[in-house]
Structure 1
Amino acid sequence: MRTLRVVVIWTMCLLAPAAWAAGDRVALILGLGAYQTVPALDNTRNDASDMARTLEDIGFDVTLSLDTTGEQMRQLLDDFAFRSETADLALIYFAGHGVEVQGENFMIPVDAQVSSNLDVQRQSVSLKQMLAAVERARKMRIVILDSCRDNPLGDAIDLAQSRQSAATETADQAADQAANQTTRGGGGLAAADPDRGTLVAFAARDGQVALDGRGDNSPFARALMEKMVQPGLEISLMFRQVRDMVLRETGNLQEPHTYGSLTGVPFYLAGPGAGQDPAAAPSALDAWAAIKPDQEEQLLALAELGDTRSMLGLAYIRLNPNEGRFDPAAAVDFLTRAAEAGSPEAQFELAKLYERGTGVVRDDARALALYREAADQDFADAINDLGFLHYQGGLGLPADPNKALRFFERAADLRHPQAQFNFAALIDDGLIPQKGPEDAARYLYEALRSGSSDVLQLLTERPTMFKPATRRALQARLKEHEFYAGAIDGDFGPGTQRGIRRAYGIED
């Protein structure tokens, strides 16, 4: 049965995630200042234009739009979402008016006619829409909002208070009144809660108002542009330094803040520093080992403050057998702290150590519990591994192929490339009830778009491992997305192979 053969292929050729900021990086920069019905902003267009040049200088493919209307902004986000699918990193920077309405953040376009919450919700672009535009980038997603400079709608009644004062009204009347109230007069944005692997940066933390600055740029934009061009400065530490710089410049009146949990792989916007070769760092272990001593000190300080990503980085350094700092027991301590704080990646990495008995006494039950904890947080690697454990039997689990298939499907639906490919193969073999060639083709297509070089290689070099019906369905999907224009015949000739490469992100 091909299922086991596919598993063996993946075990041998699955590549470790790239640990550097090399590869395709795209940015959408929006600078809005010439508002038609709310107060204009002075520095936002300068900030956006300078930010675009800065990002281009460090290798980003940048789309810049100034004084953007609502219709233009939505179209730009749609286009950027498709472009982001084949990018390693997708970044959106917005400078303009942003407001909170009923706990949700909205960015106001220049042509918005806003005088109430309902106007804002209907005419503006939400942070959720921006996050959706970057969510399929392969390695990292960043949304930066330099947009809480003031409340353009002025002082107004707090919605919670207005509801309490309307106790004699019906529920429908109260809801209608709330929808037509203006936003809260305090200014600032609501806290963000992005998905794992996504970072949202505010110029000022939730509830604060950012400053426009005295020069051509806001304090936040100026600090960001100064720090992001420094090679070898890891991204989480970069934003920490931006925060400290803005606090100093504004006399502690403005504190930038980041939300979200990045993966445990270090990332550099301006690339690795001198003497750090991206080709020499194929794994998180080697990448973290290349961190400069001063940055390791910063990681230690952040770990003491409870930062789980710093704990992960310190653990990876101590798990590298080629490092003088190799200390598996210390790595277990860092991972345990991060796992207990709720980090699914730490739970997954700690599970592997318990399974192998590295730095700790082997404990299959503890390993299985940690895999399950990570899986409960939708950590796709853990879900995929649980699929293998159930399929083959392991860590005290009996072999249960049916249960394994459910884990593989769940991991595939979370865009885990290995699981997507394997699940497509299982469908192709007729092992998944009520799923056929179109479903297999969908998973193969999504694995390509996710950036799996292994899937690219297998589909171009060994396409006949899939049945003709699945190959035809994949051709149809490539044609639907305008990557292929040939016949739907299941023959993966030069035209189909070119379409596969284009879907992956390689233009011939």
Structure 2
Amino acid sequence: MSFLFKSLIFTACLLLAAGAQAASDRIALVIGVAEYQHLPPLENTRNDAVAMADTLEGIGFDVSLALDPGTSEMVQLLDDFAFRSEVADLALVYFAGHGIEVQGENFLIPADARVASNRDVQRQSLSLKQLLGAVDRARKMRIVILDSCRDNPLGDSIALDEQSSTETAETTETTRGGGGMAPADPDRGTLVAFAAKDGQVALDGSGSNSPYATALMEKMVQPGLEISLMFRQVRDRVLENTANLQEPHTYGSLTGVPFYLAGPGADDAPVTVADASEAWAALKPDQEEQLLALAELGDTRSMLGLAYIRLNPNEGRFDPKAAVDFLQRAAEAGSPEAQFELAKLFERGTGVEADPAKALELYQAAAAQDFADAINDLGFLHYQGGLGLPANPKKALSFFERAADLRHPQAQFNFAALIDDGLIPSKGPEDSAHYLYAALRSGSSDVLNLLSERPNMFTPQTRRALQQKLQDNNFYAGAIDGDFGPGTQRGIRQAYGLEG
């Protein structure tokens, strides 16, 4: 069957051509607003933004810095950054300025905003959701940092309607009396860091930088400091420097692969290590102790890291039973990645007696939380039959489509191949090209190589549709003829994020 043929090719592709230059894999947008035109100015936000941009550049980020932008400029900045973030491994946004909660949603106020009511805030400000959207498609990690939890610039209450502050408003909503932001709930793989936890006010500090920015810049430049532990140390430093008046907080969950903002230390695994067990096993003993402490506090990512360490057979801490214990705790706490990893152990009988029914239950639990790896694997289980499931190719297709829509690169390719083979009656060449383009933007080197080396495995109709997709996104200006010549190949590489 052609689907199986294409899938096998997917796992046996060529290496990237020598000399290819990748676009920056770590990008940051830094925004600082101090000189408000219609609101009280802030002391340190401009200094914080400039210093943060310098710090991030110093550890290898490609940084865009904006000082005192207005509403339209901020919107354009986020739109441009969102497009660039699609081909970056890590996308980070840092905002220092006035922020306010309106009806449970967080808003960041531009320099030219004239706000006297909730509706003014909603119309003229940028929401946290918009900042999250700007980093949403980064390939590995997404971070939004808000040093914006300062005193509420609008007073204790503002009008719910559009009346100005000089008119009488019959209905008002009391905001958080001293300021502060609402709790954040970002998607998986995204971390939102607040300078002060929800409902609390961040301090400007007496120096040239705020206590939070100072601690953040101090910690983020330390090589070998794993990112979740870095934010924990930032929290501790701010509490110490503010006499416990300000407690930073993070929301969301990062992937289970260790990451170092300033790169790994001399004895750490390189950032290119794909195997989570090997990467976590290289963590220094003092950081493992910190993981243990965080795990005791219920941090599921720390439990995952500790489990991965104990699943590495190449060093002395190999202990599959202990790994199962950590994963069970994290799975019971709701971590879909832990449910997925635990499912694999029950399927193989590693550290626990093999239990196909339990494995299937855990795969399904992770899939119910939109964990794309679990959904993709369930697709194969339904397609081929496994873990007690009868073979059901039709049902498998719905899993492949769902995983593809969740930006799982292998699923994107496989679903594109299924469409191209005519196995999805409701979809055609434009849909196949859509998923191939999405896989390129997701960073699938397999798809890059197949389209570069063997494009004729796809029908002429799909090839023409992909050329049109490249043209629509300004990666290609040639004929829509299905011939993948030098111009199309250049467009494919640029869509992937390669230059030259």
Q: Secondary structure at the match of 1:143?
A: strand
The residue correspondences of 1:48-67 to structure 2 (distance < 5 A) are: 48-67=49-68
Percent of matched pairs sharing the same residue: 78
Letter in 2 for 1:155: D
* 3-state SS in 2 of match to 1:153: coil
> 1:309 is matched with which residue?
301
Q: Is 1:419 equivalent to 2:411 in the alignment?
A: yes
- Kept after mapping to 1: 8 A contact 2:13/2:450: no
Q: Please list, as runs of the form range in 1=range in 2, the aligned pairs for 1:74-473 lying within 5 A after superposition.
A: 74-156=75-157, 181=173, 183-278=175-270, 281-473=273-465
**Structure 1 pair 23/113, CA: closer, same or farther in 2 (3 Å)?**
closer
1:157–1:185 Cα contact (<8 Å) kept:
no
Partners of 2:221 and 2:369 in 1: CA distance: 34
Gaps of 5+ in 1: 16-21, 163-175
**Rounded Cα–Cα distance in structure 2 between residues aligned with 1:504 and 1:280:** 18
- Secondary structure of the residue aligned to 2:387 is coil
2:34 corresponds to: 33
5+ residue gaps in structure 2?
16-22, 162-168
Post-superposition shift, 1:23? 6.2
Displacement, 1:154?
1.0
Contact 1:117 1:182 in 2 (8 A): no
Distance 2:328 2:300 in 1: 10
Question: 1: distance between equivalents of 2:180 and 2:201?
Answer: 5
C-alpha separation between the residues in 2 aligned to 1:409 and 1:461? 25
Give the Cα–Cα distance (whole angstroms) in 1 for the partners of residues 128 and 14 of structure 2: 35
Change (3 A) 1:437 1:177: farther
Corresponding letter in the other structure for 1:355: E
For 2:423, the aligned partner's letter is: L
1:279 Cα shift?
Answer: 6.8
State the one-letter code of the partner of 1:115. A
1:5 corresponding residue in structure 2: 5
Q: Which residue of 2 is the match for residue 165 of structure 1? A: none
Please tell me whether the aligned partners of residues 314 and 334 of structure 1 are also in contact (alpha carbons under 8 angstroms): yes
Conserved in 2, the CA contact under 8 Å of 1:52 and 1:64? Answer: yes
Report the 3-state secondary structure (helix = DSSP H, G, I; strand = E; otherwise coil) of the residue aligned with 1:86. Answer: coil
Q: Which piece of structure 1 moves more, 344-353 or 453-462? A: 453-462
Distance 1:314 1:461, change over 3 A: same
> Structure 2 vs 1, CA of residues 393 and 12 (structure 1 numbering), >3 Å: closer, same or farther?
farther
Give 3-state SS (helix, strand or coil) of 2:107's partner: strand
**How much does 1:433 deviate?**
1.4
Structure 1: distance between partners of 2:238 and 2:417: 52
Distance 1:408 1:102 in 2: 38
| 1:486-497 correspondence to structure 2 within 5 Å | 486-497=478-489
- CA offset digits 1:449-476 (Å, max 9, x no partner): 0011111111101111101100010011
279-288 vs 430-439, greater mean Cα deviation: 279-288
Task: Assess if the C-alpha contact under 8 Å between 1:348 and 1:382 holds in 2.
Answer: yes
| Paired residue type of 2:211 | P
Local SS of the residue matching 1:365: helix
**Aligned partners of 1:68 and 1:301: how far apart in 2?**
42
Q: Say whether the 8 Å CA contact 2:267–2:282 is kept in structure 1.
A: no
Let me know the Cα RMSD of the aligned residues: 1.8
Deviations 1:154-189 (A, max 9, x none): 122798xx9xxxxxxxxxxxxx965x6574433100
Return the alpha-carbon distance in structure 1 between the equivalents of residues 222 and 24 of structure 2: 18
Secondary structure of the 1:91 match is: strand
Report the CA distance between 1:37 and its aligned residue: 1.2
Q: For 1:183 and 1:177, locate their aligned partners in 2 and report how far apart those are by CA, in whole Å.
A: 16
Paired residues of 2:215 and 2:237 also in contact (CA < 8 A): yes
Cα distance in 1 for residues equivalent to 2:388 and 2:156: 62
Deviation at 1:14, TM superposition (A): 11
Query: TM-score, normalising length from structure 2?
Result: 0.95
* Distance in structure 2 (CA, Å) of the matches to 1:154 and 1:458: 59
User: How many residues in Structure 1 have an aligned counterpart in Structure 2?
Assistant: 486
Kept in 1: contact 2:71–2:112 (CA 8 A): yes
- Tell me how far apart the structure 1 counterparts of residues 26 and 144 of structure 2 sit (CA, whole Å): 14
Distance 2:379 2:292 in 1: 35
Given the superposition, is the C-alpha separation of residues 157 and 10 from structure 1 closer, same or farther in structure 2, using an over 3 Å criterion?
same
Q: Does the residue aligned with 2:95 lie in a helix, a strand or coil?
A: strand
For the 8 Å contact 2:91–2:141, the answer to whether it is kept is yes
Q: 1:481 to 1:280 in 2, by over 3 A?
A: closer
